[in-house]
Amino acid sequence: MDRSDRISALERLKKRTLSAATVDWTDISRNIKAGTVLPVIGNALRNDGIFNWYFKTEGIPGNNQAIITVDDYLALRWADFLEYPLMDTTNLARVAIYNRVLSKSDVEARENYLLFLKGILLEAAGADPRVQDQVPQLEGQIEQRSFSDLVVELDYPSLPSGKEDPLRCLARMHLPLYITTSYYDFLERALEAEGYPPHTQICFWSGEPASVEAGHRTQHGLELNRDNPVVYHLFGLERYPSTMVVSEGDYMDYLMRLTRDTNTQNPILPLYLTDALASAKLILMGYRLQDWDFRILYRLIGDSKLRPSSLLVQVDPKQLARDILKSEEVRKYLEKYFQDKSFIIHWGNPDEFVYQLCAEYKKWTQAES
């Protein structure tokens, strides 16, 4: 084999190695029908819809060309509010550490974050002609109302004409289990609206709060039921601020407590959840690979020989990262890395992915009937 043949062979190997696997909609549809798809839903699937219209014209101060996501901007505004003294002002988990230093306790720190978030929501609503008349009354109730309540009261997100809430689409899949790392109950409300009253379960990694509602206590013997699905809040629920995983310190403590949990009778994560994470076809959506929520989630998922090829919905690097210059190389690297871990990356907007998933599933079920 001469040199030109060797180069050609290497090029073919490179193309085969770096080629992205495509989404098999038929396979996903079969798994949905069997109830063996497990959606894992991050904050971005709702936060983007709530705030994107308000932040879309904004940029990082001093850099009008910078691409900035909703999560970046929330962190930036929080850093400004706290007078955060360091440079990494778009890193929410780091800003949260500073918030903890300024607060009297862990619970107060999380309550302060929720109060800040509600304040930003009402600030945005004040600039929205559709709902700005409601803002003065809601400001008077800000301490008593949850972030979820305020979002629903304001009828957010305001969806484009012809588009529906992507969480309603996911709810109609009639699955027995949904995992979310969101602190809010938007998914439960979507399931309720579709006629599938859910069980809310929460990871009590920091201990069970004294005021926990009976139905929210960890139910180790819970049998999964598609008509009454479980929504498991992996990183806590705003109703119980002590359960929320917000700062870098929280993420490290959380992972340490879960990995050191040796209680086989009453583990922190119930067996039905760990079994599903190890064996179901996962669809992760609403995450950025560089953020703490994804990094810790991925450590918890781990590698499993029982799990079929799963899916990670990820926004293209050139649409996300200001500091990644070689976005195409990053994309290829990520595709290869996660393919080795039995994950296919689907590049695109998470909401649009959900719409396509629902359309493909509907088409498949009609063809099957």
DSSP string, 66-92: ----HHHHHHHHHHHHHT--SS-TT-H
> Is 248 part of any domain?
no
* pLDDT value for 243: 98
164 pLDDT above the threshold of 70: yes
Give the containing element (helix H, strand E) for 40: strand 37-41
* pLDDT value for 15: 47
| Structure tokens that stand for 267 in this block | 């583990």
CA distance 103 to 98: 9
> Is 159 part of any domain?
no
> Is 106 part of any domain?
yes
Q: Look at 215 and 330; give whichever has higher pLDDT.
A: 215
- What does the pLDDT average to over 209-218? 94
Task: Write the pLDDT tens digit of every residue in 291-312.
Answer: 899 999 999 988 788 888 898 8
* pLDDT value for 12: 53
Residue-range definition of the domain harbouring residue 53 = 49-153
The pLDDT-based confidence of 329 (bands split at 50, 70, 90) is confident
| Contact between residue 222 and residue 272 where contact means Cβ atoms under 8 Å apart | yes
Counted residue by residue, the chain has a size of 369
58 pLDDT above the threshold of 60: no
Distances (CA, A) of 289 to 132, 187, 253, 335, 346: 35, 22, 20, 12, 13
Task: Write the pLDDT tens digit of every residue in 142-151.
Answer: 999 999 999 9
Give the containing element (helix H, strand E) for 200: strand 199-202
* pLDDT value for 187: 98
What is the residue-wise DSSP string for 150-168? HHHHTT-S-PPTT---HHH
> Is 27 part of any domain?
no
> Is 134 part of any domain?
yes
The pLDDT-based confidence of 332 (bands split at 50, 70, 90) is confident
CA distance 351 to 157: 12
Q: What percent of the chain has pLDDT over 90?
A: 68
Domain count for the chain, please give it.
Answer: 1
> Is 163 part of any domain?
no
Single pTM value for the model: 0.89
> Is 116 part of any domain?
yes
Task: Write the pLDDT tens digit of every residue in 24-48.
Answer: 999 999 999 999 999 999 988 898 8
> Is 240 part of any domain?
no
